[in-house]
Amino acid sequence: MHDTHTPSGLGMTIGGLARSADVNVETIRFYQRKGLMLEPLRRSGGIRRYAEADRSRLHFIKSAQRLGFSLDEIADLLQLEDGASCSQARIKAQAKLAGVRTRLEDLSRMENALEELIGLCNASRGMVRCPLIAALKDGTSSFAHSST
């Protein structure tokens, strides 16, 4: 995918763009291969120049990733980037939030199961088999029976 939005001689090199967004150059190239970022045409001297809009897009991608959006989901959000489709963006964010809440419930179950198993270890005395290892092996921990 190519773009001609940067006038010749202006803008950042890919290295400058990477530094300005605190990412690796290969990250930018990866996003270009995935179609998340445009690849400017080579100008005189054979150097591609990136505009402020490219840096803004890169920040958008990284911000969305920090919120847990996958690259495919980010591609969908980028289609809504003009802000005119707020209801569609809200629906996508609500779905993401539901997934986050499900993961939090799973993590809470894991926390409770680990606390239970650690408590069994603390209660163990003498020459007995480790209750934590036994529970994992036998599948008797409360988390071993959950849907995760």
What is the C-alpha to C-alpha distance for residues 61 and 121, in angstroms, rounded to an integer? 45
R_g of the chain computed on alpha carbons: 24
First-to-last alpha carbon distance for the chain, in angstroms, is 40
> Using an 8 Å Cβ cutoff, are 33 and 25 in contact?
no
Nearest CA among 81, 139, 132, 143 for reference residue 109? 143
The pTM score is 0.72
Residue type, 97: L
Among the residue ranges 16-25, 88-97, 126-135, the one predicted with the least confidence is: 126-135
pLDDT, residue 8, reads: 44
pLDDT, residue 136, reads: 79
pLDDT, residue 5, reads: 47
pLDDT, residue 4, reads: 42
Assess whether pLDDT exceeds 70 at residue 140: no
